[in-house]
Structure 1
Amino acid sequence: MATGRNGRWLFPIIGHMGICTSAGVIRDFAGPYYVSEDNMAFGKPAKYWKLDPSKVYSCGPNAWDTAVHDASEEYKHRMHNLCCDNCHSHVALALNLMRYDNSTSWNMVTLCFFSLLYGKYVSIGGFVKTWLPFILFLGIILIVTLTLHMR
């Protein structure tokens, strides 16, 4: 699974998320009725979490790819909703379909938590692109707040 950088300056730990096929092709729910293939909505991934294909609970050799395909086909018919039905939900459905780690309770919250816990940045640049805008935004708020309190 790969998570990509995006413009979420307020919540950089959330980010945009996609899931790879066994061949490494990233699928992501990029907008209403659209799942992109190897062209993430907000650019190349800045962070990734490598999942273990042996944790897929299924008999077939293509269980991983089938689950990613089926989740993507489902999301091609859905309206994107930033809070309730989004890129994280798409990935959660794929993991639930493949019963990853013997679970069918994957959701946006668990994915954010595990991505934060197990995710790795692709480079120092990925880390900087993820956190620098947020830190600058907080710095500006701090400077404005201190300036207003000094008056």
Structure 2
Amino acid sequence: MENRIESVTPLLHRFPYSIVWTPIPLLTWFFPFIGHMGIANSYGVIYDFAGPYTIGEDQMAFGWPTMYVSRQYSLIFNFLRYYQPHAKLIGSREVWDNAISEANEVYKGRVHNLFCDNCHSHVAYAFNKMRFQDKGNWNMFSVTALLFFHGKYVSKRHCFSSWFPFILVLCVILAIISIILHIS
């Protein structure tokens, strides 16, 4: 196994204990809240449900992450130790990594569906297995909300590259509407 990196290191594409997100060309241009999501283990290795029967390992389907939510090791450990005393804890690293491994195995047997069984559902499955934040009802909408309300962009450049196409499309649509209204 490779060396453990304890903190988020974007230059090395390592995001331990994080969920990560990257835009999907064309789709994210029109709907900026829709993108491709993955989850990183305690080493920072990213796993994503990339397509039917396919789990990507450290090679996200649409490129490296532009946004992430990091759940630090100490927060996870304290949560698991104090709020789940009934759980058989080997250690929070194992709980986190085992939940991701189980989600990977389950999703290797599933067909990808953009609307209901997708990369967001894969992350939600892992969260439900580890009972993240003492919840067992994570779904694709709740993990998306977590990402967009608590996420950080990898850099200003990544933020710009995520939002610029949407803003450009919006400006073009507004210009067309303005021209149509002005003509009539």
Return the TM-score normalized by structure 2.
0.79
The answer for unaligned runs of 5 or more in structure 1 is none
- Compute the displacement of 1:118 (Å): 0.5
- Compute the displacement of 1:60 (Å): 1.9
Query: Which stretch shifts more, 49-58 or 91-100?
Result: 49-58
Q: Which amino acid aligns with 2:21?
A: T
The higher-RCO structure (CA 8 Å, 6+ apart) is 1
- Compute the displacement of 1:32 (Å): 0.9
SS across alignment from 2:59: coil
Query: Which of 58, 65, 72 is matched with 1:38 structurally?
Result: 58
SS across alignment from 1:145: helix
Whole-angstrom distance in 2 between the partners of 1:93 and 1:108: 9
Whole-angstrom distance in 1 between the partners of 2:53 and 2:168: 34
| Aligned residue-pair number | 151
CA RMSD of aligned residues (A): 1.2
- The corresponding residue for 2:12 is none
Percent identity between the two aligned chains: 44
Contact 2:47–2:58 under 8 Å retained in 1: yes
The answer for unaligned runs of 5 or more in structure 2 is 1-18
- The corresponding residue for 1:27 is 47
- The corresponding residue for 2:90 is 60
Over 4 Å off, 4+ runs: none
Whole-angstrom distance in 2 between the partners of 1:47 and 1:2: 6
- The corresponding residue for 1:6 is 24
Contact 2:50–2:60 under 8 Å retained in 1: yes
- The corresponding residue for 2:166 is 134
Contact 1:5–1:47 under 8 Å retained in 2: no
- Compute the displacement of 1:3 (Å): 1.4
SS across alignment from 1:9: helix
Contact 1:5–1:44 under 8 Å retained in 2: no
Whole-angstrom distance in 1 between the partners of 2:69 and 2:23: 14
Q: Which amino acid aligns with 1:47?
A: M
